[in-house]
């Protein structure tokens, strides 16, 4: 049934009262809602001048194109749907990073905005708020944006919302610091370490692999002697804390095996 809603003025703003289908205990129910349309001003002085804004907002509802799931608050979707999904389909280290981002930076600042109401400007403002309250590098802010983008991508893929990902056009604040460059050992220092007489043969091999292959710490920990065959080092697993991750660990696939050739010792 088509609705026009009721436009009312409160203080210096115009609001729309309307009915919407929302989820309650997992079931859609019809609920009376109120939404701010625009501030009162020269362009919007009367109910008639605001009616076009109300009509634009109500059009998807009247056309039946909006699902009740889209009224779910973003925070609720992340906690009840997205984070549990990452636990099933992402590396444990990735899950830990996502939970830290959520608890430390996003949860207290995202408010009660609903999935379908979250716009690129909301993403930009959220990132700006996070940056203003935390001394984070630009790389960390990219990680936070990627986390939020992943949450909306999951909502879109599961049919909770039918729109473009709002984080795609959200902007990270400018002027953020870049992460410091990671220091690397010089070849002479590596050779001195490997020449230490107290090193066992196993320790010397482990140090050489870490120094010359460019593998991550977790990948080095996951290596076995059988991974070295015919001059190639096959990186098939990684270890994070007490978790053994086979393959890439991205998405829900764990089938990738990455073969890397050991470079010759630099001269």
Q: Among the listed ranges 31-45, 91-105, 176-190, 213-227, which one has the minimum average pLDDT value? A: 176-190
As a whole-number percent, the residues of the chain with pLDDT over 90 amount to 56
Which pLDDT value is given to residue 234?
87
Q: Which one has a higher pLDDT value, 248 or 199?
A: 199
Q: Is 199 left (phi over 0), alpha (psi -120 to 50) or beta?
A: beta
pLDDT at 258 over 90: no
More confident residue, 53 or 265: 53
> What one-character-per-residue DSSP string does 154-195 give?
HHHHTTS--S--TTTT--PPSSPPPPPPPP---HHHHHHHHT
Of 143, 146, 144, which Cα lies nearest the Cα of 168? Answer: 146
Helix (H, G, I), strand (E, B) or coil at 214: coil
Shortest CA distance to 224 belongs to which of 212, 234, 210?
234
Is 149:168 a contact under the CB 8 Å cutoff?
Answer: yes
pLDDT at residue 241, rounded to an integer = 78
Instruction: For residue range 191-226, list pLDDT tens digits in order.
Output: 999 999 999 998 998 899 888 888 888 888 888 888
Q: If we measure between CA atoms, which residue out of 154, 131, 24 comes closest to residue 85?
A: 154
Considering only 56-65, 129-138, 161-170, which range has the smallest mean pLDDT? 56-65
- For the chain, what is the total number of helices (H) and then of strands (E)? 9, 8
Range 242-246 average pLDDT: 77
Tell me, what's the pLDDT at 225? 85
pLDDT top residue among 235 and 258 = 235
**Is residue 72 predicted with pLDDT exceeding 60?**
yes
Tracing tokens 């509802």 back to the chain, one arrives at 61
| Dihedral sign (CA 119, 121, 122, 127) | positive
pLDDT digits over 80-114, tens only? 999 999 999 998 889 999 999 999 999 999 999 99
Average pLDDT over residues 165-183: 85
Mean pLDDT of the region 131-148: 93
Q: Which residues pair with 15 in a beta bridge?
A: 8, 36
Q: Which two tokens stand for residue 172?
A: 């990270």
User: What average pLDDT score do residues 156-181 get?
Assistant: 88
């Amino acid at each position: 049934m088509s609705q026009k809603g009721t436009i009312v003025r409160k203080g210096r703003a115009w609001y729309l009262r309307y009915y919407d289908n929302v989820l309650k205990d997992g079931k859609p129910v019809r609920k009376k809602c109120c939404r701010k349309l625009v501030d009162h001003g020269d362009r919007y002085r009367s109910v008639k001048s605001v009616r076009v804004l109300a009509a634009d907002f109500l059009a998807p509802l009247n056309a039946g194109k909006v699902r009740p799931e889209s009224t779910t608050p973003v925070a609720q979707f992340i906690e009840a749907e997205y984070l549990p999904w990452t636990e099933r389909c992402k590396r444990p280290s990735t899950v830990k990073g996502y939970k830290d981002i959520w608890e430390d930076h996003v949860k207290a600042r995202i408010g009660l905005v609903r999935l379908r109401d979250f716009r690129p400007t909301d993403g930009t403002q959220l990132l700006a708020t996070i940056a203003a309250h935390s001394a984070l590098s630009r790389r960390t802010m990219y990680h936070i944006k990627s986390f939020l983008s992943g949450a909306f991508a999951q909502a879109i893929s599961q049919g909770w919302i039918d729109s473009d990902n709002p984080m795609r056009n959200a902007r990270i604040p400018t002027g953020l610091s870049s992460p410091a460059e990671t220091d690397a050992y010089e070849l002479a220092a590596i050779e001195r370490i490997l020449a230490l007489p107290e090193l066992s043969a196993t320790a010397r091999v482990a140090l050489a692999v870490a120094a010359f292959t460019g593998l991550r710490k977790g990948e080095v920990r996951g290596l076995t002697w059988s991974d070295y065959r015919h001059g190639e080092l096959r990186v098939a697993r990684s270890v994070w804390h007490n978790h053994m991750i086979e393959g890439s660990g991205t998405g829900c696939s764990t089938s990738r095996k990455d073969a890397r050739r050991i470079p010759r010792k630099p001269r």
